[in-house]
Structure 1
Amino acid sequence: MEITPVKMLDLPQIMAIEKSGFSEAEAGSEAAYRERIEKLADTFLVARDGAVVLGFIVGPAVGARYIEDEMFVETPTNLPRGGHQLVFTLAVSPLARHQQIGSQLLTALAEKAQADGRTSMALTCLKRLIPFYERNGFINQGVANSEHAGETWYNLEKVWD
């Protein structure tokens, strides 16, 4: 397995993984992912085994500390340096789960964020996923100010030492 920047050719596999891991209301559309590939190419990483996409992580590097719902409507542009690395999506193929791929993707994006001068990495997740992110060094900052998909989301944040 290797972790590389996304390619537009990855889009069909990314969409299959997205649809397998999220409800219809939660999942991003193909148009949204096309825009993310175009605008966030340097913060959109793919775990792959040859041509097979095993999982991916994507999010913008922006001035805001936490994800805001409007960011899902129009993808923000990455800051060249500084700010905060946000994670819109971390998803792993059902066929590749329980192999630490999600943790490896989080680590790879965190390393890139630190190299680019970001001060932290943050994401929102459902309650059942909080333990996974805590094992990966994130701290639960409480209920997020989000109405995305009608769910209760939690802000999780990792600040560099």
Structure 2
Amino acid sequence: MLEFIIRRVRPEDLDRIAEIEALCFPAAEAASREAFQDRIKAFPGYFLVADIDGTLIGFINGCVTNSSVIYDEMFHNIQHHIPNGSNLSVFGLDVIPEYRRQGVAAQLMQHFIQIAKNTGRKSIILTCKGRLVHYYESFGYANQGISESKHGGSQWFDMTLVLQRN
């Protein structure tokens, strides 16, 4: 069994996070180093990393919003982070290739879900490609159909995990 810890992001994790993002996403979809720098400052409580003996192997991050779906501007502008918003978004769930299929992403997601519950969020929202819809459904997310997001020129699906009913 792979042994790693999940912890909150630290400013000194920035360069490694940018490296991991470049490994996990095509250039058109990858967040920039500057975007991660802004996210780390704006919402460190919603940015978790998987760490093996001081080496980061993955992360999950997202802002808090009142929107029921992710829209493209959210990825680029931290002004869309609403600290007292009702929903937590997932901007990215990244695990470097050599550590995939070992439960790292699942544990990052479970920790993120717990943070959302602990902070009173009503739901968690994300977008994913069609091939990952089933994966996110395994956590309880519901497929809301094709997203209006055109991020990176790809087709995305809106997914929602309801934590609290109104």
TM range (shorter): over 0.9
1:93 maps to amino acid? I
Please point out which of 147, 153, 158 is paired with 1:155. Answer: 158
The 2-side partners of 1:77 and 1:26 are apart by 19
Corresponding position of 1:114? 117
Structure 1 residues 21 and 13: CA distance shift in structure 2, 3 A: same
Q: What TM-score comes out, normalization by structure 1 length? A: 0.95
Please point out which of 78, 86, 97 is paired with 2:100. Answer: 97
Structure 1 residues 50 and 76: CA distance shift in structure 2, 3 A: farther
Unpaired stretches in structure 1, ≥5 consecutive residues:
none
The 2-side partners of 1:2 and 1:81 are apart by 28
The 2-side partners of 1:11 and 1:77 are apart by 21
Please point out which of 4, 9, 14 is paired with 2:12. Answer: 9
Which whole-Å deviations, capped at 9, do the CAs of 1:22-48 have from their partners, x for residues lacking one? 001000011111111111101000111
The answer to whether the 8 A contact 1:25-1:149 is kept is: yes
Corresponding position of 2:46? 43
Corresponding position of 1:124? 127
Residue 140 (structure 2) pairs with residue 137 (structure 1): yes
Q: What TM-score comes out, normalization by structure 2 length? A: 0.92
The answer to whether the 8 A contact 2:63-2:89 is kept is: yes
Please point out which of 63, 66, 80 is paired with 1:63. Answer: 66
Task: Please provide the CA RMSD for this pair.
Answer: 1.3
The percentage of counterpart residues that share the same residue type is: 37
